[in-house]
Amino acid sequence: MKAEETIGQKSANKLKGEHKTVSLFIDNAKTYIQLSTGALVLSVTFIQGLLGSKDVIPVDALMMIPWICWLLAILSGVTYQYSAAKYLEKLEEEYGNLIYHRVKENWLLRSLVKNPYRVYGFMMVSFYFGTLFFTTVAIVKLMIKVIRG
């Protein structure tokens, strides 16, 4: 009887630990979503200020790359939040702690629910690549503007 309680307690502790860890990653994904959204707005404002055009958003081929990266970071961040929540739900079901059975995960996202860290990694790479590319382009454009006077 005591061994069963120990095994049950270990399972409960593992589940609690997984919830805590995944919750931290979900919160962090929210931060990446917010930063990516802010970066999109800031980059548009930067380009408008640099080129002196306030009425229209100048479409610059080089700026499309970070915009796409940040958009991918936002979309993958939202997808990660869904996948991570479904991952935790599946764990609850496996441990018999799920009170209500919910809708199964979207079949397109089934592999991500099993491995939510993959989409999290993609989100991070997208955000950082977009940020580094934007910074490089911005520095070059500023230098060109300074040199041309």
pLDDT tens track for 7-32 = 567 677 888 888 899 999 999 999 99
pLDDT of 33 higher than 50? yes
Closest CA to 22 of 73, 89, 76: 89
Q: What average pLDDT is seen over the chain?
A: 85
CA angle, 122 as apex, 131 and 130 as ends, to 5°? 15
Q: How long is the chain?
A: 149
Angle at 51 between CA 40 and CA 128, to 5 degrees: 30
pTM exceeds 0.75, yes or no: yes
List pLDDT tens digits, range 59-92.
Answer: 778 889 999 999 999 999 999 999 999 998 888 8
Which pLDDT score, from 0 to 100, does residue 62 have?
87
- Which pLDDT value is given to residue 77? 97
Q: In the chain, where are the structural domains located?
A: 2-148
In whole angstroms, what is the distance from residue 25 CA to residue 33 CA? 12
Q: Which residues contact 102 (CB under 8 A, 6 or more apart)?
A: 89
What stretch of H or E contains 47? helix 2-51
Whose CA is closest to 115, among 92, 90, 97? 90
